[in-house]
């Protein structure tokens, strides 16, 4: 049996795919202990050809599958990969990112030692050119090794949505029927949060094992990476409903408030920054996401900036044309900011999370309609 099966969806990633695969082949744990599963999602470039070249070189370790049609997100390819996996543990990567060379050994040793369901690591962003950012995502002076708990404030900080900075016990995933959402954005949030809610033993370690590439950022005035279509927001709306329903089912609305604070800010700034939406699209989408913004009141979670709170209240009241004008003003202001400033603004602040902790949810059992 392989120690680890790593699953990578590919779609038009020829520029970065070889680097991603090479970092897996050269892992300190030894490639003989790794099963690499590449799921090509109907690429139109050389991604599938590159995958097959590696599979021919390493027939005992690499499996290449091709979907019958494009899945529009990584959820279906990842689910296919999970079904093909033979390793004791599962790891995931995006095709334009890469693992540190010692990543698999560190993660394997920790999950084996603790006999855990999931282990989460620290990680870092890198530029489009592959240069790591100065600081990792989680401050190593603040977050050391610890066991996560639904009742622990620090657990929320490190329990991020990504599947790529984690290692999962495959039997745990199988026994709890944990799957990605298919055909929707946010598939990794649903998977990771479901695993967190089901896990009995889950640990965090401060080692940086994964590097996440920020693409389309060479021009600091550009916001291409934030451009999202109408279909994206329709999909996110469905994904958010399913994720909220999951927390309601598990009786964990108190913990969901932290996730909601992050998702609310993320959704609104992507909506504001997008250059792919017409005014008509925005007005239609406001009607669709109004249920989600109402949760700000239901869950007692205000927006992290006053301008967003004003926007939320106006959308809840159905004053969409007025909300449209506010979106344009905020978007204009953000267009003059560097990408790293916009990135930091698009997250709630530590003070906000502490306020959530200090004001436990009373009631708030409203279900998804």
Give burial (CB, 10 Å; 0-12/13-18/19+) of 150.
middle
Give per-residue pLDDT as tens, 188-246: 999 999 999 999 999 999 999 999 998 764 443 333 344 589 999 999 999 999 999 99
- The answer, yes or no, to whether residue 304 has pLDDT greater than 80, is no
Q: Distances from the Cα of 346 to the Cαs of 217, 267, 295, in angstroms?
A: 16, 9, 19
Residue 260 tokens, joined: 């909601």
368 band by pLDDT with thresholds 50, 70 and 90: very low
**Range(s) of the chain covered by CATH 3.90.550.10:** 4-213
Joined tokens for residue 157? 């900080």
What is the model's pLDDT at position 347? 67
* Phi, psi angles (nearest 5°) of residue 124: -145, 155
Domain 4-213 fold: Spore Coat Polysaccharide Biosynthesis Protein SpsA; Chain A (3.90.550)
Q: Convert the pLDDT of each residue in 330-344 to its tens digit.
A: 999 888 877 667 666
**Predicted local distance difference test score (pLDDT) of residue 154:** 79
Query: Band of the pLDDT at 73, cuts 50, 70, 90?
Result: confident
> Do 210 and 121 contact (CB within 8 A), yes or no?
yes
Neighbours of 336 (CB within 10 A): 9
Residue 192: name the closest of 155, 234, 152, 228 by CA: 155
Nearest to 108 by CA among 25, 28, 26, 201: 28
pLDDT, greater one: 132 or 341: 132
pTM of this prediction? 0.89
Chain-wide mean pLDDT for the chain? 89
């Amino acid at each position: 049996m392989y120690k680890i099966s790593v699953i990578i969806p590919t779609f038009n990633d020829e520029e970065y795919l070889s680097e991603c695969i090479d970092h897996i082949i050269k892992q300190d744990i030894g490639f003989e202990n790794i099963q690499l599963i590449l799921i090509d999602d109907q690429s139109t470039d050389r991604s599938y050809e590159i995958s097959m070249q590696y599979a021919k070189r390493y027939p005992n370790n690499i499996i290449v599958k091709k979907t019958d049609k494009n899945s529009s997100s990584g959820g279906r390819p990842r689910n296919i990969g999970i079904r093909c996996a033979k390793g004791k543990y599962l790891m995931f990567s995006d095709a334009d990112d890469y693992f540190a060379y010692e990543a698999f050994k560190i993660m394997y040793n920790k999950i084996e030692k603790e006999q855990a369901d999931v282990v989460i690591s620290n990680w870092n962003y890198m530029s489009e050119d592959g240069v790591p950012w100065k600081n990792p995502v989680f401050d190593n002076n603040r977050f050391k090794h610890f066991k996560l708990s639904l009742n622990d404030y620090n657990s929320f900080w490190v329990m991020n949505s990504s599947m790529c900075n984690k290692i999962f016990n495959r039997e745990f995933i199988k026994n709890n029927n944990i799957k990605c959402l298919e055909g929707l954005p946010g598939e990794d949030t649903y998977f990771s949060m479901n695993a967190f809610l089901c896990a009995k033993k889950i640990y965090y370690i401060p080692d940086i094992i994964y590097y996440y590439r920020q693409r389309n950022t060479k021009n600091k005035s550009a916001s291409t990476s934030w451009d999202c279509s109408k279909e994206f927001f329709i999909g996110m709306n469905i994904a958010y409903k399913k994720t909220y329903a999951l927390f309601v089912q598990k009786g964990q609305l108190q913990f969901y408030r932290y996730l909601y604070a992050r998702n609310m800010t993320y959704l609104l700034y992507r909506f504001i920054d997008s250059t792919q939406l017409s005014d008509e699209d925005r007005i239609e989408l406001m009607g669709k996401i109004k249920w989600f913004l109402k949760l700000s009141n239901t869950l007692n979670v205000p927006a992290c900036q006053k301008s967003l709170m004003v926007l939320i209240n106006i959308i809840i009241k159905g004053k969409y044309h007025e909300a449209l004008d506010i979106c344009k003003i905020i978007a204009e202001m953000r267009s003059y900011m560097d990408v790293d400033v916009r990135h930091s603004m698009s997250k709630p602040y530590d003070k906000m999370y502490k306020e959530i902790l200090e004001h436990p949810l009373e009631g708030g059992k409203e279900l998804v309609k």
